[in-house]
Structure 1
C-alpha cells in the first residue's frame, strides 16, 4: 500500500489495516502518519471546524507506532501472533482517564484535574497494542446529546458543519467519520454511543450492563456503560472484544475478555436468512422524520429480500412515559452526583448542565427509588412481550434529521413527523429513540448506518437483542452493513482533502 493516498489509508477499516500489517504491505507508522496528516487537514479550530479533540498525543503514539513496526517484522520472521489492536490508531473519550492527563469532563470547575490511573478500557486498549493518538470531546459530564462546552467549544458534524454529531460521544463520532481515527471509545447512559453513531454514519455498540468495565462509584448505575465505536461492524466487534470482560475494579463486570463474533456470524447478507426481526418505526409515539422513517423501512425491505421475516411490532410507549421513567432514575443517581460535583460553581456550568440537574431533581420528587424501579420494570416487561418469538428488534436510532451544533434546546424541540405534522417535545432528548434500551440495559444494542437524511446528515437504525445475546446484534448488523450501501465516508466528506 506504499502508493496509497492519505485518504485511502485513513478510510481503511481496522480489520483491513491489521491484515496489511501482518502481510507487511503497510506499517503502523505509515497509517499513523496519514491519520495525523488527516487531522491537520480537516479538524479545524474550535469556532468553525470539526473540533473533535481535547488533546493530541502524537509524540507518544509515534513512538509506539515504531515499536509496533518492529513487532510486526519480528512476528513475520518467527510466525508469532500479535496483540489484537497492534498499530491501530484509537481515540479515547476524555472521560476515559489516561494517567497524568486531563480528567475535567468538560467542566470548567474541574479544569486542571488529572487522572491518577488509566481507566480499565484504556488499559486494555494499550495492552492490545492500540495507539492512542488523541482524546475526544464531549458535553459537560456527558449529560447532553449535543457536544459543546465552555472548555472545548463546539464539536461539529463532518457531514454538515451546521449540525451536531450528537452526544455525548460526539468527538468520537466526528473523528471516525472524518477519517481522523480508526477506532474510538464511547459511553452510553441514554444513547451517548448510538446517537453520535447515527448522526455520523458510524457504528456504535451499547453492550449489556457490566459487559464493559467502568469505574466506581457510578459504574454501579445500571443505565450506563462504556463501549466501542468504529466505521464497520467487524471493527466495532473487535474493539468490543478488547474492552469487554470482568475487571477487579468493577464488581458489576462480567464475562470473558476477548470474545468476538466469528466469521459465521459476520457473514453479510447471508446472516439475515431465517431470522425473525421485529420492526417498530416509532417505539410508541415518537414523531419520526420522514427521511429517517423511509431509510428504516428500506433497511427492513432489504433484510426481507435477504431471507429474514420482518414482523411488525407496536410498543405501547409514549415519549412522556420514557422521559418520566428515565429522569426519575437520573434524579436518584446521576443528577445528585453532578450536583455534588459542581456545588458552588453553578455559575460556571453550561446552560444544558444546570437544566439537566434541575430536571432530574424535579422528576424524582415524589417518586421513590423503589417506585423508579417499578417504572423500569414496566418498560422492560413491555419490551420482553414485544420481542417474544423474535430474534431481534429493528428501530430508528434518532427521530430527527439533525440537531444544531451549538444548540442548547432549553425549551425543548419542535419536530416534524413522517406525516408532516409539527409536534413540540418538552425535552429534546425525546428526539432520540435510544434511552428505552438503557432502561432495558441487559439488552445489547448496535446502531448501524441506514442512509442519509434530506439535510445531508446520516441516519441510523438500532438492532436490539434479547438480554445478553451479543452475537445476534452483530449478526444482523453485518447483514445490514452489506445491504445498505452507504456512501464511502472519505469520498463523501471533504473529498479533496488528504
Structure 2
C-alpha cells in the first residue's frame, strides 16, 4: 500500500526545502498550491491586499532553474513567503492599510525583503494590516476587515494580522511581520502560530514601521525552527540601518540546546491589574509545568514591570500624530476615525512629557536588566484575552476603548527592546488558539528560541488546522 504524501500546506519551510533539494517537489508546485489556497479561502478571510500571480510564478520558475543547475541562492530558495504591506518591495505598492498612500510600485526593497530576495524567496502577496499599523486588530479603510481562520467572526489580531492568517491558512509557511507593541506576537497568538520579536537592532528596518525605537521586524511561522530560519535571513547586515547590531552566525544552529537548568520566572499577569481569561491562564500554567518537567527551574514571580500604559501611549501615539501632521482636514477624513482621534489628542503632548516617557522607558530597561541577573527567561500569556469579535478595537464589554488596555503583556518589551516569542500552547473550549510568551534579556534571542523550541517539541500543535481549511476541502 502506498504511503500518503502530506499536503504541502502541512509541511514546514524546513521540510519543504529538503523536498526541493531532493526534486520531490518544484517551486512552481509550491507557488501554485499557495495561490490556489488564496483563491479558495481568502474571500472569507481577507488576509491579502494584493497578489500578482504572474510575478509569483516567474520567481518560482527561476528558483526551479537554479535547483536544476545546482546553483541555489540561499536559505529560502523556492519557498513561498507572505509580506506584510508595510515593507517596500520592488514591483508592489506599499499601502500601509491607508487610502492616503500611493498605489504605485516601489522601486527598492526594504532591507528584510532584499535579504529574502538574495535567498531566493517566492513572494506570494501583500498581507493586510490596520492603517499605518496603529492598532492590534486588522481592519482598515483601505482593505476592510481581516478575519481569523479559526473562527471567521473573530479577529486575527494585529497589526500583522494578514501575515498570521496567511500562515494559519497554510498559504505560506513563512511571513514577514513587524512589531511595535505586539504586532507580530498578538496575531500569531490569536491565529495559533509562532511569532518572534528579536532584540531591537538585530534586524534592519528601513522603513518597515513608522514607530521608530519601539519597532522591530520579525518572522511569523508555524514552527520555531522555521522562525529561526527566516530570522537568519532577516538579520543579515544592511547599511541602511546604522542601529544594526551583530548577532550569532545562525539562530537555527543554536536550537540544539534545552531548558535544563534555566531559571524561568513564571508570571501569570506580570504583576499588572489585568484580568486573565481562565482558559488562557490554565494553558500557560501547563507550559510552566512542562518546562519544569524538562528540567527548568520555574519560579512563580513577577518582574514588576509597573503601570506604564500611559507612558507607552505617549511614545506610540505621539508617533501616530507625527505621521499624519502633514495631511489637511480633507485627507484626515479618509483616516480610520479612531486613529485620527488618538493622533489629534497626542499631537498636543509637550516635548517635556514625551521626554519623561522616554526616560521611563530607559528606567524600565534598567530594571529588566537587573531582573535578568536572577532569571534567564520570563513566561507569561501572550494576550490575556481570547480572540474577540471582528470590527472592534477591544473585546465586548471591555472597560477601556483603546487596544493598549488588553495587550499589556506585549508592549512593555517594545519599550525595553527585549526578545520575545509567542508559541501555541492550547485552545479554548470552542477551539480558539492560545499563545504563551517567552521573554529574555536583551541579546538572548537564541535562548528565547531554544526554550520555545523545547516546549514545541514536547507539546506540538502544528498538526491541528483551522476548520476553514477542512471546510474548503484543501
Say which of 297, 301, 316 aligns to 1:309.
297
Q: Which runs of 5+ in 1 are unaligned?
A: 416-423
- Give the distance between the partners of 2:81 and 2:230, measured in 1 at CA: 10
**Contact 2:280/2:428 (CA < 8 Å) preserved in 1?**
yes
- Give the distance between the partners of 2:39 and 2:207, measured in 1 at CA: 36
Once the two structures are overlaid, the 10-residue window that deviates more, 385-394 or 191-200, is: 385-394
**Contact 1:314/1:386 (CA < 8 Å) preserved in 2?**
no
| 1:74 and 2:84 correspond | no
Q: Which residue is equivalent to 1:61?
A: 56
Local SS of the residue matching 2:405: helix
Deviation at 1:217, TM superposition (A): 10
Q: Which residue is equivalent to 2:280?
A: 292
- Give the distance between the partners of 2:178 and 2:208, measured in 1 at CA: 15
Q: Which residue is equivalent to 2:265?
A: 278
Cα 1:224–1:166, aligned 2, differ >3 Å: closer, same or farther?
same
Map Cα deviations across residues 115-141 of structure 1 (whole Å, 9 max, x no partner). 231111111111100000111000000
Cα 1:300–1:165, aligned 2, differ >3 Å: closer, same or farther?
same
**Contact 2:174/2:221 (CA < 8 Å) preserved in 1?**
yes
Cα 1:149–1:15, aligned 2, differ >3 Å: closer, same or farther?
same
**Contact 1:146/1:403 (CA < 8 Å) preserved in 2?**
no
Query: 1:168-179 counterparts in 2 under 5 A?
Result: 168-179=159-170
Local SS of the residue matching 1:495: helix
Query: 1:474-489 counterparts in 2 under 5 A?
Result: 474-486=449-461, 488-489=463-464
Q: Which residue is equivalent to 1:397?
A: 382
**Contact 1:139/1:148 (CA < 8 Å) preserved in 2?**
yes
Deviation at 1:403, TM superposition (A): 2.6
- Give the distance between the partners of 2:197 and 2:182, measured in 1 at CA: 8
Cα 1:185–1:470, aligned 2, differ >3 Å: closer, same or farther?
same
Local SS of the residue matching 1:204: strand
- Give the distance between the partners of 2:279 and 2:321, measured in 1 at CA: 34
Number of residue pairs matched by the alignment: 470
Give the TM-score of the pair, scaled to structure 2.
0.93
- Give the distance between the partners of 2:89 and 2:329, measured in 1 at CA: 25
Cα 1:39–1:322, aligned 2, differ >3 Å: closer, same or farther?
same
Q: Which residue is equivalent to 1:373?
A: 358
- Give the distance between the partners of 1:36 and 1:219, measured in 2 at CA: 30
Cα 1:216–1:342, aligned 2, differ >3 Å: closer, same or farther?
farther
Aligned-residue CA RMSD (Å): 2.4
Give the TM-score of the pair, scaled to structure 1.
0.88
Say which of 440, 445, 448 aligns to 2:416.
440
| 1:105 and 2:112 correspond | no
- Give the distance between the partners of 1:68 and 1:487, measured in 2 at CA: 27
Query: 1:315-464 counterparts in 2 under 5 A?
Result: 315-318=303-306, 321-340=307-326, 344-361=330-347, 364-365=349-350, 367-409=352-394, 414-415=397-398, 424-432=399-407, 433-441=409-417, 443-464=418-439
- Give the distance between the partners of 1:234 and 1:14, measured in 2 at CA: 9
Q: Which residue is equivalent to 1:52?
A: 47
Cα 1:360–1:479, aligned 2, differ >3 Å: closer, same or farther?
farther
Local SS of the residue matching 1:340: coil
Cα 1:317–1:452, aligned 2, differ >3 Å: closer, same or farther?
same
Map Cα deviations across residues 39-67 of structure 1 (whole Å, 9 max, x no partner). 121111xxxx1010011122112122122
- Give the distance between the partners of 1:181 and 1:85, measured in 2 at CA: 12
- Give the distance between the partners of 2:327 and 2:139, measured in 1 at CA: 19
Query: 1:55-204 counterparts in 2 under 5 A?
Result: 55-75=50-70, 82-204=73-195
**Contact 1:401/1:454 (CA < 8 Å) preserved in 2?**
no
**Contact 1:52/1:137 (CA < 8 Å) preserved in 2?**
yes
Local SS of the residue matching 2:310: helix
